[in-house]
Amino acid sequence: MSEVANQATPAVVTDLGTETLQEISPRQLAWIRFKRHRLAMISAGFLIAMYLITVFCEFVSPYNTDTRNVKAINAPPMSIHFFDAEGNFHLRPFVYSYDMEINADSWMREYKENTEEMYPIYFFEAGESYHMWNLFEAETHLFATREGYIHVFGTDQLGRDMFTRVFYGARISMSIGVVGVMLTLFFGVLIGGIAGYMGGIVDRGIQRIIEVLLSLPTLPFWMALSAALPVEWSSLMVYFGITIILSLFGWPGLARQVRGKFLALREEDFVMAARLLGAGRLRVIFRHMMPSFTSHIITTATLAVPGMILGETALSFLGIGLRPPVVSWGVLMQQAQNYQVIVMTPWLMIPGLFVVLTVIAFNLLGDGLRDAADPYNTGGNRD
Amino acid sequence: MRAYVIKRVFGMIPTLILISGLIFIVIQLPPGDIVTSTLDRMQSQGLEVSTEAVANLRAQYNLDQPLLIQYVRWIGGFLVGDMGYSYLFTRPVSELVWERLGYTLMITVSSLIFTWAIAIPAGIYSAVRQYSFGDYLITTIMLVGLATPSFLLALMAMYAGYEFFGISIGGLFSPEYRDAPWSFGRLLDFLSHLWIPMVVLGLGGTASTMRILRANLLDELSKPYVVTARAKGVKPMKLLFKYPLRIAINPFISTIGLLMPALISGEAIVSIVLGLPTIGPALIQALIAQDMYLAGSFLMLLAVLTVLGMLLSDLLLAWADPRIRYE
């Protein structure tokens, strides 16, 4: 057995070794470099999981966003148990019901676990019916209880399930980031490309506008613009309005980078060679120049998403972004306007935790992508 | 140097004109204007408004003039310090603005200094001790600071102040000093309130600033002259401060220009959460009340502040780096 292994191993290694050396494409090389970046890999996993949840949030969350549980107003998160009060093990996890009493001093509701009454958790269980993607009715939830209720992240002032609301909020907040960045990309590449391509007075004019926009404090301008959105607009229109406002101040940075890359690449030998070989203008741009800065653009785009998410959160928190029936992380954070909330009902800050995690993940992912995409990167000091 | 200063100062003028035009467009955006909203308010109070009064009001705000004239009047008034009258605060805007602008400036500048006081040592440390435990620790803390929305940080600071120090945070003064004239006690009270917005605001900008310094310094440290100096036995500290740091700090100075818009943005929302008497909260009140001219004045002031900050950073850079001066 060991003899076989001893013989086989070196052969395989050299074989693999030469193959790797000869047949690796730039894309594979980037992937190998990216895989080395462990934090970026973890972040990518987290973000993929989050986006999958936001796509299926009707299914993942046990309730609908407006469902109220009057038995649990401002109730703390429930813990999921496998062992009951007597120490018996249950294969099916369960939660205890709330035991509510009103504190005589503070007149606040106080909740304790009632170990007498337990609600087992069932998976792929029928619960409240919902309208999946506004297409069809369904009622299967990832998890639910047959009797009683389950609030993994607690409930808010109206007794609405925070777990449900956090993931519905993720759908809005995380998609605003992506849609906003796509708009930013479109305008940034278009305007930056025009500036780099036309040169001369157009270039100088665009440069000037970019400088001005970059020197503006964005948040006050976001505030002014979103306060200008008509009150009678539907939620969907406000959503797109906010997205456009957020990308309005995002494109200048990108446009400047695209222009810079364009100008630098125009002087490169391989572009000259392509031109001398008789390649048309569009072919030079799309076949030869584009590939050398797409990776750069993808990185910039990734690093731009967190700004958008934070922008939406801040605007909605102030009450001039998205407005309640819409559930977004910012709208949820509106409940936490003062520090008493942190003292009394800290679980209302959970959406904030998700904002922080998502923003960190995007930043780390962006770092990883930048390292992977840089063809001159030797794993050195570039930060 | 003088030629450069003159060039830069005059270069600001077209920028400011563009910005003011932009702001004017923004304040024209909402449907209706100050007159229609005033009328709404008066009618909801049961007051009869004659068409003549409406016309008078429109004339008073120059709303019957073409847009270009309105713009010139607005910006002209702004230049001579006449920013109109705020119905929201029932005071002339200019009276309202200076006091708030002062606090905005103080908070912004102090958090800029705080950012530097943290970012420079942290950046040096994590460049010199690259990949050490301390490097990772600093980077992690900075990343969390970068990722936390500033209003959340402000809330947490309020919570920490309440829970651990037993002080209620919010505002810039304790109740007993709020309307008192300036005195030594009031100054101390002010300073004891100032550090919360300063830290909260500063943390957001520290991460990016520190990373720039770290990257610059790492580039310098791997250069042959550093190796040579080390081989010749120059003391590590002396070497670091005398050569690589001085070169690495130059591009760092230019980050003030980028930091200013971010700080002023952050200041607005942090002040709203902490209830500070600065421009930010007044701006949002004006926006919600749709008093767009007032909002426009606030926006313009914030923009002027940022542009001045960038000018200052450019001049500082030119002073520190002769290559820029003589370009």
The minimal CB distance from A216 to the residues B162, B290, B303 is found for: B303
A191 and A94, same structural domain? Answer: no
To the nearest whole Å, the CA of A367 is away from the closest chain B CA by 12
pLDDT at A3: 43
Residue range of the domain that includes A69: 61-160
A150 and A286, same structural domain? Answer: no
From A124, A143, A160, give the residue that closes a domain: A160
**Any domain includes A80:** yes
pLDDT at B225: 86
**Closest residue, chain B, to A222 (C-alpha):** B265
Nearest to B306 by CA among B8, B1, B16, B13: B16
CATH-assigned architecture of domain B104-285+306-320: Orthogonal Bundle (1.10)
From A160, A193, A211, give the residue that closes a domain: A160
CB contact under 8 A, B19 and A343: no
From A93, A126, A160, give the residue that closes a domain: A160
CATH of the domain at A338: 1.10.3720.10
**Any domain includes A3:** no
CA dist B43 and B37 (Å) reads 10
What single string gives the DSSP state of each residue in B74-142?
HHHHHHTT---EETTTTEEHHHHHHHHHHHHHHHHHHHHHHHHHHHHHHHHHHHHTTTSHHHHHHHHHH
pLDDT at A46: 92
A235 and A90, same structural domain? Answer: no
Per-residue pLDDT of chain B (327 residues; tens, 9 = 90+): 778 888 888 878 888 888 888 888 887 777 666 666 666 766 667 666 677 777 776 676 666 667 787 788 777 777 777 766 666 667 777 777 777 888 888 888 888 888 888 888 888 888 888 788 888 888 888 888 888 888 888 888 877 777 777 666 666 677 666 666 777 777 777 777 788 888 888 887 788 788 888 888 888 888 888 888 888 888 888 888 887 888 787 767 777 777 777 888 888 888 888 888 888 888 888 887 777 777 888 888 888 888 888 888 778 878 877 776 665
The minimal CB distance from A220 to the residues B148, B268, B307 is found for: B268
Question: Exposed (0-12), middle (13-18) or buried (19+): which is B215, by Cβ within 10 Å?
Answer: middle
A319 and A259, same structural domain? Answer: yes
Which residue shows structure tokens 């542009």?
B307
A356 and A214, same structural domain? Answer: yes
For residue A315, the one-letter residue type is L
Sign of the four-CA dihedral B34, B40, B44, B49: positive
ipTM, two decimals: 0.79
**Any domain includes A217:** yes
pLDDT at A69: 80
Beta strand A109-132 pairing with A136-145: antiparallel
**Any domain includes A254:** yes
Q: Which residues pair with A126 in a beta bridge?
A: A140
A183 and A107, same structural domain? Answer: no
A227 and A295, same structural domain? Answer: yes
To the nearest whole Å, the CA of B63 is away from the closest chain A CA by 19
A68 and A206, same structural domain? Answer: no
Residue range(s) of every CATH 1.10.3720.10 domain in chain B: 104-285+306-320
Residues of A in contact with B219 (CB under 8 A): 381
CA dist B298 and B100 (Å) reads 10
Domain total of chain A: 2
**Any domain includes A24:** no
CB contact under 8 A, B290 and A310: no
pLDDT at B171: 67
A254 and A338, same structural domain? Answer: yes
CB contact under 8 A, B215 and A381: yes
B25 and chain A in contact, CB less than 8 A: no
A202 and A148, same structural domain? Answer: no
Q: At what angle do helices A26-36 and A350-373 cross, to 10 degrees?
A: 130
Residues in chain A, pLDDT under 70? 1-22, 374-383
pLDDT at A48: 92
A172 and A304, same structural domain? Answer: yes
3-class DSSP state of B33 = coil
pLDDT at B159: 79
pTM, rounded to two decimals: 0.81
A350 and A320, same structural domain? Answer: yes
CA angle (A237, A243, A248) in 5-degree steps? 125
